[in-house]
């Protein structure tokens, strides 16, 4: 597979916004003869590797799907461990993000998290709010349909209050109320674990994203694998509805 020279990547068309569905933790653990939660713990190292790789290559935004709104349906023990792990990562990793000029934010419905976890999220966002090298967004208790519906609720309230007319509602307005609207458009969506679906993740934002699916389980997805995915992206022709000839002419 094509690779990227990380020291000479200025002229390579790299994505400015990358999102990852981090799938395969449980299966990885089972293959190791361990409980599913061991896979989630092992996956933290892959998060570190991808954050490091993205920062080194100059990616401006990295968005990770950590916990979907449907994941509450998993066994309670696993959910509890995931919440504890999230608390641990927020406590241990945010200072490293801050040191590397990375801004942290969480997208999703925070109301279902414990008060202690909600405060940790607020503290992390507050500490890193002025950092501008990269934005690390973690999607937790997030769903793409929820994202679109909360945006429409906000717009509907503006109409009820008389601040806008119904005729004013268009794609641009809806986009402004969707999560991540302040970031570059999503360029590349990666999914590990071998499944070929996006599982209610960034439905609006992924409209023109390139997709990269790999059989590799998330705890095995290291910096080299991340760079390979970006190299694949750099060799794709993005047409946005135009013909290949039009893109080449431009």
Q: What's the pLDDT tens digit per position in 163-207? A: 999 999 999 999 999 999 999 999 999 999 999 999 999 999 999
Q: With beta carbons less than 8 A apart as the criterion, state whether 138 and 125 touch.
A: no
Reduce the DSSP state of residue 209 to 3 states and report it: coil
- Give me the catalytic one of 8, 23, 131, 220: 23
Residue 161 within a domain: no
Question: What is the pLDDT at residue 124?
Answer: 96
Q: With beta carbons less than 8 A apart as the criterion, state whether 226 and 58 touch.
A: no
Residue 229: DSSP 8-state: H
- Give me the catalytic one of 5, 8, 71, 175: 71
Residue 56 within a domain: yes
Question: What is the pLDDT at residue 8?
Answer: 52
Q: What's the pLDDT tens digit per position in 80-117? A: 888 988 898 888 899 999 999 999 999 999 999 999 99
Mean pLDDT of 137-149: 96
Residue 26 within a domain: yes
Strands (DSSP E) along 111-218, which ranges? 134-142, 188-191, 210-213
Q: How confident is the model at residue 11 (pLDDT cuts 50, 70, 90)?
A: low
Q: How confident is the model at residue 10 (pLDDT cuts 50, 70, 90)?
A: low
Question: What is the pLDDT at residue 193?
Answer: 98
Q: Which helix (H) or strand (E) holds 97?
A: helix 76-99
CB atoms under 10 Å from CB of 61, counted, come to 22
Rounded Cα distance, 221 and 150, in Å: 33
Question: What is the pLDDT at residue 2?
Answer: 47
Arithmetic mean of pLDDT over the chain: 91
Residue 104 within a domain: yes
- pTM comes to 0.90
Residue 50 within a domain: yes
Residue 148 within a domain: no
Q: Give which of 38, 19, 18, 20 is closest to 28, Cα–Cα.
A: 38
Strands (DSSP E) along 31-110, which ranges? 61-68, 102-107
Rounded Cα distance, 130 and 186, in Å: 22
Query: Which residue range forms the structural domain that includes residue 45?
Result: 17-143+185-236
Mean pLDDT of 116-130: 96
Tell me whether residue 132 is one of the annotated catalytic residues. Answer: no
Question: What is the pLDDT at residue 238?
Answer: 62
Is residue 212 predicted with pLDDT exceeding 80? yes
> Where residue 133 sits, what CATH number does that domain have?
3.40.1180.10
Q: With beta carbons less than 8 A apart as the criterion, state whether 152 and 173 touch.
A: no
Residue 10: DSSP 8-state: T
Tell me whether residue 23 is one of the annotated catalytic residues. Answer: yes
Q: What's the pLDDT tens digit per position in 34-79? A: 988 899 999 999 999 999 999 999 999 999 999 998 999 988 988 9
Q: With beta carbons less than 8 A apart as the criterion, state whether 129 and 201 touch.
A: no
Is residue 245 predicted with pLDDT exceeding 70? no
Domain count, the chain: 1
Q: With beta carbons less than 8 A apart as the criterion, state whether 97 and 130 touch.
A: no
Question: What is the pLDDT at residue 6?
Answer: 52
Place of tokens 């750099």: 234
Question: What is the pLDDT at residue 77?
Answer: 87
Residue 118 within a domain: yes
Q: Tell me the helix, strand and coil percentages in the chain, rounded to 5.
A: 50, 15, 35
Q: With beta carbons less than 8 A apart as the criterion, state whether 207 and 185 touch.
A: no
Mean pLDDT of 22-26: 95
Question: What is the pLDDT at residue 60?
Answer: 98
Is residue 220 predicted with pLDDT exceeding 90? yes
Residue 93 within a domain: yes
Instruction: For residue 71, give both structure tokens.
Output: 């994941």
Question: Between residues 11 and 66, which one has the greater pLDDT?
Answer: 66
Question: What is the pLDDT at residue 4?
Answer: 59
Instruction: For residue 140, give both structure tokens.
Output: 């937790």
């Amino acid at each position: 597979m094509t690779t990227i020279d990380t020291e000479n990547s200025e002229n390579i068309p790299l994505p400015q916004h990358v999102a990852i569905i981090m799938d395969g933790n449980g299966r990885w653990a089972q293959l190791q003869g361990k409980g599913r939660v061991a896979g989630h713990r092992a996956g933290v190292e892959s998060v570190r590797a991808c954050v490091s790789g993205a920062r080194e290559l100059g990616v401006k935004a990295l968005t990770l799907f950590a916990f979907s709104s449907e994941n509450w349906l998993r066994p309670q023990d696993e959910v509890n461990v995931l919440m504890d792990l999230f608390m641990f990562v927020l406590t241990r990793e945010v200072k490293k993000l801050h040191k590397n000029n990375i801004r942290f934010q969480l997208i999703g419905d925070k109301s279902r998290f414990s008060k202690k976890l909600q405060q940790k999220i607020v503290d992390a966002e507050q500490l890193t709010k002025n950092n501008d090298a990269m934005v690390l967004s973690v999607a937790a208790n997030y769903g793409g349909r929820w994202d679109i519906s909360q945006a429409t609720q906000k717009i509907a309230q503006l109409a009820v209050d008389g601040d806008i007319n119904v005729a004013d509602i268009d794609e641009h307005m809806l986009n402004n109320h969707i999560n991540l609207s302040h970031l570059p458009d999503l360029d590349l969506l990666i999914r590990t674990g071998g499944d070929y679906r996006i599982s209610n993740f960034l439905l609006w934002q992924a409209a023109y994203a390139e997709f990269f699916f790999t059989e590799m389980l998330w705890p095995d997805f290291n910096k080299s694998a991340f760079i390979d995915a970006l190299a694949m992206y750099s060799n794709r022709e993005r047409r946005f509805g135009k013909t290949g000839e039009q893109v080449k002419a431009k």
